[in-house]
Chains A and B, each alone.
Chain A
Amino acid sequence: MATLCNSPLRSLFGVSLILCTVSIGTAHAQGRAAVPRLAPVGSPVEIVDTSERISGNATTGLVFIQPSDKIGYDRLWAYLSEPVSPKLKLKISSIDGRYYAEVEYATNPAQPGWTALDLSLHEFKFLEQNYKDPMSEIAALLGDADGPRFYPVRWASSHDAAAAAPDPPKDTDPLRVYMNTERATAFVVVKGSPTYCRDASAVSGFKFNAICDMTLADVRNAELEGGRHVVDAIEVFRRSGVRTLAPVTVDVKIKY
């Protein structure tokens, strides 16, 4: 008797389970389809637990920072502005040089705006487990594979959970530049006055030592493109003792 009763119940449950799975899958697929996405080209390079040298006076990261942001293998988004190079390279460095990764992407056709970056990194957990303040200790830099231009990225919501890309940038959005200044004092100019970059590293063998925080409005070039919101370069000034060193220009174009 129990078997007879259970049989239709089981089939009903099975059907509802299939329907549920199909609907979740469809919603998931719609979510994934809603946001542009770049998949890695070729195998990523990942170096873990060694100390990598880096040349000085180099930009090592350009990241939008929001209070809710946190790192994750499926949380990295790039904000692309035209013209977008057909080939991009992402570099992720930890402050002490114990983690370094390079991932290449092909962008054809170019898609301006927020784009999800698939990381496909096997050792990403190393970053999640070893750094207490990842937003200050892990730098991500997306740039042209064959050129000097950079594109800002952001550790926002998970790609899979996101029904849509993050909100478009606005003037008040904080932007962070990670830089190796070789211990020179660095600053950016905001409204004509210096705003100092803070020391990022107290440890030896650092990949970057200065973190420069600013908002988009601070570095926006109001004279370009008829007053449209454009950041076309970020100039980082450096002082070593009483000497003024040549400023480092972060080659970036952000249209928002």
Chain B
Amino acid sequence: MPDEASRPPPALPPETAAAPPAAPVTAASEPGLPAARLETPKRSSRRPLVGAAKAIFGWPRGHWPAPTVTVLLATAVVVVGAVELLPRAISDVTLSVRARTEVLEIDLDPLRTYVWWLPGGSYSLLTAKAGAGCELRDRFDVVCPYADPTALTIKNGATVRFEVAPPEATGGALHFNAAIMPRARAAAPQASSGGLTPTVAAAAVKQPEPSAFEVRGAADEPLLETHDLVTFESGPVDLWRIPLILRRVQVGESLSESVSTDSLGPVRQPIMTEGDVRIYARGLGSQDRYEIQQERFDPADVVQIPADPADSGLLLGVLSLDRSDRRHAFDVTMHTALAEVFVRRLGAGHRNAGSMWSIVSQLPTWAALWVVWVSLIVVANYHAARLQQLQGEHHVESKPA
């Protein structure tokens, strides 16, 4: 850069002005003054850029890579911004949801076979094969009461809705209802979007096997078999629990202002009463898992996992109902490697996923990095001030008496 050397230096910031004594600033600048007057407009337009580069990097006067305060601060800003772009997978994020809820809807994994023991109660079906002790009350209305516990086998997936019966309807005893809805059939026009696209129709046709439900007694004797909607109303329950292995869950239900009472009798809208989500991560390169974020849910919130219905993952947990806690609500706990929940509130909704900031900021190495960084800024600032002082003294000495 010979021409750069011949040009007058722009006003240097304190840290860049702190040049080594071998290259005195005044000596280089004075012969360059006439040349500056003859500069073309193009060159003069480049000067602010050069000035900015010098201010930031101390370049090209040989200061680089000596860190300046500006460089350190700029790098810190870039690092802070870039942390959020790191993929969450590197920290192995998981979340746990606990909730007290009067209603719960789950999608079962179609590749698993579920066997749930249900307490004594009454099954109601639209259609049924066999059906010992069943009564056909009307078209699409078969009722099968069983006093003893029964085993319900579910194959090829289903959507199940559990709801605690209101205590006023059961004389204070603890009862619950379950509605087991088969997966959509191939023949049925689909579903997820407004238009009936050929792709969606083809996807529906590829659906493997229709859902199958089977009820057996305590001695493993077959009682019922159906492919259609099954509803169940339990008798009084003391303690009941089942493991949950799911594809999707919705805890709670939105309150509706459009429900009338004409045919359903007294309307009680079940809700989630309380709950929270805790998000965990693993330290980079470490086996330790630590909590990075927590959110408490409000009554009547609706929690959906996965947050995006298109996502796929597995949720594991426990669903239980205990008369002794006197809350008339299910106790549900679930764990998943899906890193995001969607919380729907009346009139709004939000997603909650552990941010990379919350993950990284709790690492000890991250704290150490910041200590080093701040120390560097302090040291750089000290040296800049000191060199500026030296430069000032040099100016005074070099002035002719």
**Chain A residues within 8 Å of B, Cβ to Cβ:** 51, 53-57, 65-69, 97, 133-137, 174, 180, 182-185, 187, 189-190, 193-196, 198, 202-207, 213-215, 237, 239-246
12 A-B interface contacts by CB (under 8 A):
A53-B257, A54-B258, A67-B195, A97-B258, A182-B264, A193-B228, A196-B182, A203-B254, A204-B346, A205-B257, A237-B140, A242-B232
A243 to B351 CA separation, bound complex (whole angstroms): 36
Contacts A194-B228, A213-B196, A215-B189 hold; do A182 and B344 have CB atoms under 8 A apart?
Answer: no
- Pick from B191, B198, B302: contact of A198, CB under 8 Å: B191
In the complex, the answer to whether A204 meets B255 with C-beta atoms within 8 Å is yes
A69 to B140 CA separation, bound complex (whole angstroms): 35
Contacts A133-B193, A213-B189 hold; do A242 and B259 have CB atoms under 8 A apart?
Answer: no
In the complex, the answer to whether B188 meets A242 with C-beta atoms within 8 Å is no
A136 to B196 CA separation, bound complex (whole angstroms): 11
A252 CB to nearest chain B CB (Å): 18
Contacts A67-B197, A241-B177, A244-B138 hold; do A198 and B184 have CB atoms under 8 A apart?
Answer: yes
Q: Is there a chain A Cβ closer than 8 Å to B21's Cβ? A: no
- Smallest CB-CB separation from A205: which chain B residue? B257
Q: Is there a chain A Cβ closer than 8 Å to B124's Cβ? A: yes
Q: Is there a chain A Cβ closer than 8 Å to B231's Cβ? A: yes
A174 to B196 CA separation, bound complex (whole angstroms): 8
- Pick from B184, B194, B256: contact of A65, CB under 8 Å: B194
Contacts A67-B195, A193-B228, A198-B191 hold; do A242 and B124 have CB atoms under 8 A apart?
Answer: yes
**Chain A residues with CB under 8 A of B104:** none
B292 CB to nearest chain A CB (Å): 28
In the complex, the answer to whether A194 meets B229 with C-beta atoms within 8 Å is yes
In the complex, the answer to whether B259 meets A135 with C-beta atoms within 8 Å is no
Interface of B, helix, strand, loop or mixed by DSSP:
loop
A215 to B179 CA separation, bound complex (whole angstroms): 27
In the complex, the answer to whether A65 meets B195 with C-beta atoms within 8 Å is yes
A215 to B187 CA separation, bound complex (whole angstroms): 11
B213 CB to nearest chain A CB (Å): 14
**Chain A residues with CB under 8 A of B137:** 244
**Chain A residues with CB under 8 A of B347:** 204
In the complex, the answer to whether A241 meets B259 with C-beta atoms within 8 Å is no
Most chain B Cβ neighbours within 10 Å, of A69, A204, A246: A204
Q: Is there a chain A Cβ closer than 8 Å to B185's Cβ? A: yes
Contacts A196-B229, A242-B233 hold; do A65 and B177 have CB atoms under 8 A apart?
Answer: no
In the complex, the answer to whether A195 meets B188 with C-beta atoms within 8 Å is yes
In the complex, the answer to whether B264 meets A196 with C-beta atoms within 8 Å is no
**Chain A residues with CB under 8 A of B143:** 242
Contacts A67-B198, A134-B194, A237-B140 hold; do A196 and B184 have CB atoms under 8 A apart?
Answer: yes
Q: Is there a chain A Cβ closer than 8 Å to B237's Cβ? A: no
- Pick from B122, B163, B188: contact of A213, CB under 8 Å: B188
Of residues 106 through 124 on chain B, the ones whose CB sits less than 8 Å from some CB of chain A are 122-124
Q: Is there a chain A Cβ closer than 8 Å to B263's Cβ? A: yes
**Chain B residues with CB under 8 A of A213:** 188-191, 196
B160 CB to nearest chain A CB (Å): 12
In the complex, the answer to whether A65 meets B196 with C-beta atoms within 8 Å is yes
**Chain B residues with CB under 8 A of A136:** 193-194
- Smallest CB-CB separation from A67: which chain B residue? B195
A sample of 16 more A-B contacts (CB under 8 A), given A97-B258, A196-B182, A240-B264, is A55-B260, A56-B263, A65-B195, A68-B195, A69-B195, A133-B193, A135-B193, A135-B195, A137-B194, A182-B267, A195-B185, A205-B257, A213-B196, A239-B126, A242-B232, A244-B141
